[in-house]
Structure 1
């Protein structure tokens, strides 16, 4: 099965998905590439569109005939989860030639449909139908009619999950204890890589998608000062200073880092055991492994890279840092996003409850 190339800037598996769409939809993805949207964003759109197009194909509905009812039934069907189809390229040995040859296989797996996932799918379809109206493939936007008719679900504002300072220290220390306890024969560079990843998350608050894209030249030295350039959402860059602890750990990792990485990933900062760029999934697995080793309390047992981002924000505000500074460090486009952490750190609220201490004694 040969992969059709829509754009060489897309990974092969995403090209495979996008190539199945009608030409007008492929143009939508080319527009996204021209607008320098991140590869992860484009991949999310591809998966969302594939899910929707599979649904309307099953119902024998053309894109021109999609209406509010179609969209409502689609969202209802995937409300509590859905099967995602992914295409994976593997290599098999050709019995005749003895050479490894690429072949594509299809795998499906069940995915929960989280609140964030539901919002993203609505946003994906909203962008799609607006585009199709704009280029006059459609004369109306069925997504607008659907949203006008839908009951608005109540927004649930949850307190962000984060680590305390003591728990964060336990996570950092778990890297060393993990390798000592298991007497692991892993190479030193992997241990130093994992420690550098955890420290970067806790000291810069970067997203896992931002960590994944880091290259060696993302680290800039100015005298004794080291800074890191982070490519955030919407192609926005921010530069953050690295403290001495993070700098020392990164330098240790770079001393041990394998020299003979894959030519394609020669500049990648973090490598996997095959000396290719460490994937988003691989970075998440690193965090999960040491969270388990640290034996953190139940509320912190499912700490993810994004929750380490919450941890930095909370620690900064606890130290009395300005909300605007925290916004710039995290790369939030709106300060309202940063303000969710003020619900966690509110010294006046704490003091008010402390003043009731004498009253509550019997």
Structure 2
């Protein structure tokens, strides 16, 4: 299999690895992505569609089925095939320094990893295929929509809205302190760098202090931070290209300044020089990189079982819950989180109510 650079470029707005995935699809499906780009969809949204379609078209290829021949039964078999998880193949560009000449070399490496097929993941894949086949019918590539026929015939799964998992205030403080203890314990290890410690502290405090999504965090550039006297505001590009401006609290801003004072300034590829958060290879930090960093500090903090699987998105839940518990207005919290509908924000009021129920329940031990 050829590396991404040997594939045609669908759009220079997209990362090379995503261009490579889309270039493998039939021309009609490539048109779907060109429409998404014209509609100014975010790069992360486009990437999610590309990954979902790659699974589907790999499945079709394994059974020698063209997209024109897809039936509701084909779609049913695909969803059964990935029901309990699937293997994803990605291309990653690795930068290394030649020990003799000092020259920087770039190499594309193919990596495979297994992913669980979560409930939200299943819903997203259904939505992705729904959008694709609707486009193919509307554009005249197909006469019938097999996805619509599949959904009309399939049983609806029972809707269960789960309460968001979040950290208490004390657990959040323990997580932040874990950055110090982890790096103090590993001081001298060649894999640790002072600027990584400062970066991770700033990331945690930004996620807990603004509630931004991880995709919004890794998309921040240096000019996304706007100084405002003794503090600063951060310009966040949210879903649907909607911008919102959030004020940083003093603790988060100080942590960010500490990181910026140590952030590497050399050896950064031109296309990554404006990125606010960098990884060890001095390229833009990925969502996976943020997740792995947080998991490291979760283990260090020795958080209780319910918090053991804390992800960047659950830190967003944490801020929302803490704000509402502190009596903040629901509309204000909606604006901070960038929810398009207040109904999405209202789920956190149920969390607070369940916390009240638990508090009253614990009175049993006092009586």
Match of 1:206 in 2: 212
Match of 2:276 in 1: 269
The answer as to whether partners of 1:202 and 1:312 remain within 8 angstroms in 2 is: yes
What per-residue deviation string (whole Å, max 9, x for no partner) do you get for residues 209-258 of structure 1?
Answer: 11101111101123334100011111111110111111111112111222
Aligned pair partner of 1:69 in 51, 69, 73: 73
Moved more, 106-115 or 128-137: 106-115
Match of 1:247 in 2: 253
Match of 1:310 in 2: 317
Aligned pair partner of 2:32 in 24, 28, 41: 28
The answer as to whether partners of 2:95 and 2:281 remain within 8 angstroms in 1 is: no
How far off its partner does 1:291 sit? 1.0
How far off its partner does 1:148 sit? 0.9
What per-residue deviation string (whole Å, max 9, x for no partner) do you get for residues 295-326 of structure 1?
Answer: 11111111111111111011001101111111
Matches within 5 A, 1:1-362: 1=2, 2-89=6-93, 106-184=110-188, 186-260=192-266, 261-346=268-353, 350=357, 353=360, 357=364, 361=367
Aligned residues: 355
Moved more, 58-67 or 129-138: 58-67
Question: Closer, same or farther in 2 for the Cα pair 1:168/1:24, shift >3 Å?
Answer: same
Moved more, 65-74 or 343-352: 343-352
What per-residue deviation string (whole Å, max 9, x for no partner) do you get for residues 311-361 of structure 1?
Answer: 101100110111111111111111111111111112895499469859x95
Cα distance between partner residues in 2 of 1:267 and 1:101? 21
The answer as to whether partners of 1:202 and 1:311 remain within 8 angstroms in 2 is: yes
Question: Closer, same or farther in 2 for the Cα pair 1:312/1:128, shift >3 Å?
Answer: same
Question: Closer, same or farther in 2 for the Cα pair 1:340/1:184, shift >3 Å?
Answer: farther
How far off its partner does 1:81 sit? 1.4
Cα distance between partner residues in 1 of 2:95 and 2:175? 38
Cα distance between partner residues in 1 of 2:342 and 2:265? 42
Moved more, 262-271 or 288-297: 262-271
Match of 2:100 in 1: none
What per-residue deviation string (whole Å, max 9, x for no partner) do you get for residues 266-317 of structure 1?
Answer: 1111112232222211111211111111111111111111111111011001
TM-score normalised according to structure 2 size: 0.90
Give the superposed CA RMSD: 2.5
Match of 1:154, SS state, is coil
Cα distance between partner residues in 2 of 1:354 and 1:311? 22
How far off its partner does 1:58 sit? 2.6
Moved more, 325-334 or 82-91: 82-91
Match of 1:96 in 2: none
The answer as to whether partners of 1:3 and 1:12 remain within 8 angstroms in 2 is: no
Question: Closer, same or farther in 2 for the Cα pair 1:200/1:101, shift >3 Å?
Answer: closer
Which has the higher Rg, Structure 1 or Structure 2?
1
How far off its partner does 1:263 sit? 2.4
What per-residue deviation string (whole Å, max 9, x for no partner) do you get for residues 95-140 of structure 1?
Answer: xxxx988665544332211111110110110010010011111112
